[in-house]
Structure 1
Amino acid sequence: MTRRRELLAAAAWMPLAAHAGPVLQVGPRRAVKTLAAAAREARDGMLIEVDAGEYVADVATWPQHELTLRAVGGRVQMVAAGAHAQGKAIFVTRGRRQRIEGFDFMGCAVPDRNGAGIRLEAGSLTLVDCGFRDNENGLMTANDEGIELDIVDCDFGTILPRAGLTHNLYVGAIKRLAVTGSYFHHGMLGHLLKSRAALNHILYNRLSDEIGGRASYELEFPNGGVAVVMGNLIMQSSTTENPHVISFGAEGATWEKQALYLVNNTLVDQLPSGGIWLRVKAQQAEVALVNNLFVGGPRLAADGYWKRQANFAADWDEFVRAAREDFRLKPGSALRGKAVDAGEGGGARLMPSREYRHPHTTVALSGPARQPGAFQS
């Protein structure tokens, strides 16, 4: 619990809320034994403490505001086992400033084949240390410009093999998305992370389809918007469904402001024929590529108006142990110290202050970021 508070405090856009309201305890040995029952009893401002363990076919809709669901004594595993709330998800959330900590959502499948671990339909939601596995989609949101979504130290894992395009994370046309310290992997036809949000902060994550993964894009912003993509390890697998790694504006630039800041990322391509690092279709978008490392054979189809500074094609032997996915630069690498000041953009200082640590967390840097790529230590 202390670690979760540290994680939230480290994210400047996510103030840590105090819980002065009533507490509702849930578990097999409690008066309230299921999450479905808790959802019926919960009131605005409650802290719901849920005993660790498996909760099978226990689905719920949460309309309350200022609500926190917190796992106690270990992880809470929500196993769909054929059940779903409203034909949509294991949890459907609609309240303002909701928070879920320490939950795993597993195995959601629905008749329209668009089931999710969580469906966020309104309000705002913060996830801390949550996992998504073997769902048709990990998490989905509605198209609502009032929605805000914060994701910290979460694992968006394997997607169920289903017909259609299913995504590890699919964010609709919402106000804001922030993702830090999270691991997206083993996609199936859809994208690892797809966001239509107006503002996106994608910081210090690992998006890596892994062996056998069949994701399309690793990262897509189909309607553009403003996207700060900084400090991420992004890897395209040899079995990808699409040669593009990152796509911006492919379905039309619907937001007034269009900007992509790709800063201090390590991008790795394992496609034998080589792919394309970045596709930008949003005309007049501000595009800045600074301090990135490109590993592999794809093309960088850069337009002349893009800002490009201190980006390097790196050979596999520049890294400590690339074969083991350790993409820290070797102490003797000629690329060390080559990072430049990227300035500001998208409401953020474009200078990493943390770095991703596997399997899904971040650690603070001890000093200024001097190396190109996602890793400074």
Structure 2
Amino acid sequence: MFRKGGGNLYGLAGLTLAALFVTACGDGSQSDAVAQELQSGNASDQAPEERAECTADTCVGEGEEYSSVQAAVDAAPDGGSVGIEGGTYEQCAVIPENKSLTIRGFDGRPHLKSRLCDGKAVLVNYSKGKVVVDGLELSDAGTDKVIWHHDNTGALILRNVEVHNAGMGILASTNSERLEIHDSEFYDMDEPTQNGHLVYAGQVKDLVIKGSYFHSARNGHMIKAKSVNVDIENNYLLDNYGTTANLINIWGCGTNRVVGNAIVSENKSGAVQAMDVSVRKRYGEVKTCPANNADITIAYNSFLKKGETLYSSLLLDSYDMDSMTIENNLVTNARLVKDGSTQGVYWYPGDWNGKNMTVEEDLFTDRFLHVRSAPSAVSSRHQPTEQYAHPTSTESRSDGSSMGAYQVSP
């Protein structure tokens, strides 16, 4: 099923009334002025809006060759592209294992919803190649997944996608090569029996998440980065529903970077951990780390916990890492690291004291945690060159001389 929105039906009628008004009033300057104003105000309605042309190998939409997204995917060549016209499609799609593909919207944002393929998700990827999904909205999968990046698949790259209302946003399964999420929004996941994670990257070899907005989680991690190499940069995480899980969970295997993120929890009465690193390097959980290193950098993040501090922290200190760098983070109403015993490397207070700062809430000028002043950053090789730009993007960060997720604003 496909539904396309309509346009303004009143422009022609307005121009006709203006012409009748001029005829009835003669050549008076006042009537001419009124007619000109009416004509000017409706100039955009004189001609229909030019419809964007689909330039993909196969196209879906009104007047296009295909009305079925799946049929267009099946007909597209390996390495080809599928264009989907903006509108609502109560459809799902499967990308087969032998096909690399780009799927993008044209003439608006296409919305795939309310159907599951293979009983798994609205979009199911089996491809062992590279799949790019650009400009789509996907939603309404009940208690199932919106996107399923299957076991032993290749690379899935999501750009400018909106994913919402299901049991889980995306599941990237064991031994998939790569998952990238750029400039996207994930929200409203709820599945109490399995945990409604917004993103679950399960033993993916490489995970990259940048410039994206995560919010409205209820009972799962916003980002479960159970992946070998992780790069989570310049995102905005809003814990507005008080999810029962730590906001970011990291496997602690391979090389991990959590840099330049703005994290806000509105859970005023509960303890909140912005992130934790699970103990997997030496002790193993489900699967032993396949890499021969376990390193993490947590830098230039801003974390605001509203309400009581309780046992809230930027980092829950359950880890067993070869190396850990914690520097230039701003923390409000929370500890930098939760008190307790550590495993693996023993961290003396000097390893992070003075390199991060606890600040008052009024330092932040808006809900995204921008600042007009901030403590000076310590020297760092992890200085970011970008920062989050709401709602789903990044912008240049030319100055990394201050702590936190953003450069100082005038």
Bucket of the pairwise TM-score, normalised by the shorter protein = 0.7 to 0.9
TM-fit CA distance, 1:206: 0.7
Which of 141, 147, 156 aligns to 1:118? It is: 147
Distance 1:84 1:268 in 2: 38
Q: Name the residue aligned to 1:106.
A: 139
TM-fit CA distance, 1:22: 6.9
TM-fit CA distance, 1:55: 0.6
SS at match of 1:40: helix
Which segments of 5 or more consecutive residues in structure 2 lack a partner in the other structure?
A: 1-54
- AA partner of residue 403 (structure 2): P
Q: Name the residue aligned to 1:50.
A: 84
- AA partner of residue 108 (structure 1): A
- AA partner of residue 60 (structure 2): V
Distance 1:32 1:364 in 2: 40
Distance 1:86 1:240 in 2: 41
Which of 152, 156, 165 aligns to 2:186? It is: 156
Kindly indicate whether the alpha-carbon contact (under 8 Å) linking 1:76 and 1:103 is maintained by their aligned counterparts in 2. yes
Distance 2:235 2:269 in 1: 19
Kindly indicate whether the alpha-carbon contact (under 8 Å) linking 1:249 and 1:280 is maintained by their aligned counterparts in 2. no
Q: Name the residue aligned to 1:16.
A: none
SS at match of 2:331: strand
Distance 2:95 2:80 in 1: 15
Q: Name the residue aligned to 1:36.
A: 70
User: Identity over the aligned pairs, expressed in percent?
Assistant: 21
Distance 1:264 1:299 in 2: 13
SS at match of 1:60: strand
Distance 2:140 2:334 in 1: 36
Q: Does 1:246 align with 2:275?
A: yes
Residues 281-290 or 47-56, more deviating: 281-290
Which of 319, 329, 333 aligns to 1:292? It is: 329
Kindly indicate whether the alpha-carbon contact (under 8 Å) linking 1:236 and 1:271 is maintained by their aligned counterparts in 2. no
Q: Name the residue aligned to 2:159.
A: 128
Q: Name the residue aligned to 2:364.
A: 319
Q: Name the residue aligned to 1:347.
A: none
Which of 75, 84, 90 aligns to 2:109? It is: 75
Which of 378, 383, 388 aligns to 1:356? It is: 388
Q: Name the residue aligned to 2:24.
A: none
Cα distance, 1:101–1:294 mapped onto 2, change above 3 Å? same
Q: Name the residue aligned to 2:347.
A: 305
Q: Does 1:262 align with 2:298?
A: yes
Cα distance, 1:327–1:273 mapped onto 2, change above 3 Å? closer
Cα distance, 1:257–1:241 mapped onto 2, change above 3 Å? farther
Distance 2:62 2:257 in 1: 43
Distance 1:224 1:271 in 2: 33
TM-score by length of 2: 0.76
TM-fit CA distance, 1:215: 4.5
TM-fit CA distance, 1:105: 0.9
Distance 2:156 2:327 in 1: 31
Cα distance, 1:128–1:215 mapped onto 2, change above 3 Å? farther
Count residues with an aligned counterpart. 335
Q: Does 1:94 align with 2:126?
A: yes
Q: Name the residue aligned to 2:215.
A: 185
TM-fit CA distance, 1:270: 2.1
Cα deviation digits, residues 139-171 of structure 1 (max 9, x gap): 111111x51111110101111355431100000
Which of 339, 343, 359 aligns to 2:377? It is: 339
Which segments of 5 or more consecutive residues in structure 1 lack a partner in the other structure?
A: 1-20, 344-349
Cα deviation digits, residues 172-191 of structure 1 (max 9, x gap): 10110011100111112110
Cα distance, 1:105–1:342 mapped onto 2, change above 3 Å? same
Kindly indicate whether the alpha-carbon contact (under 8 Å) linking 1:155 and 1:360 is maintained by their aligned counterparts in 2. yes
Residues 188-197 or 218-227, more deviating: 218-227
Kindly indicate whether the alpha-carbon contact (under 8 Å) linking 1:217 and 1:245 is maintained by their aligned counterparts in 2. yes
Q: Does 1:138 align with 2:183?
A: no
Kindly indicate whether the alpha-carbon contact (under 8 Å) linking 2:69 and 2:91 is maintained by their aligned counterparts in 1. no
SS at match of 1:317: helix
Q: Does 1:328 align with 2:370?
A: yes
SS at match of 2:369: strand
SS at match of 1:370: coil
Distance 1:355 1:167 in 2: 24
Cα distance, 1:104–1:261 mapped onto 2, change above 3 Å? same
Q: Name the residue aligned to 2:28.
A: none
SS at match of 1:328: coil
SS at match of 1:38: helix
Cα deviation digits, residues 183-222 of structure 1 (max 9, x gap): 1111121100001111001010011112x34251110014
Distance 1:277 1:269 in 2: 9
Distance 1:224 1:272 in 2: 32
Cα deviation digits, residues 71-104 of structure 1 (max 9, x gap): 0011010112xx2111111111122111000011
Kindly indicate whether the alpha-carbon contact (under 8 Å) linking 1:215 and 1:242 is maintained by their aligned counterparts in 2. no
Distance 2:275 2:122 in 1: 30
Kindly indicate whether the alpha-carbon contact (under 8 Å) linking 1:125 and 1:150 is maintained by their aligned counterparts in 2. yes
Distance 1:310 1:90 in 2: 45
Which of 360, 363, 369 aligns to 2:400? It is: 369
Cα distance, 1:205–1:25 mapped onto 2, change above 3 Å? same
Q: Name the residue aligned to 1:168.
A: 198
Distance 1:89 1:242 in 2: 33
Distance 1:68 1:100 in 2: 6
- AA partner of residue 305 (structure 2): D
- AA partner of residue 362 (structure 1): T
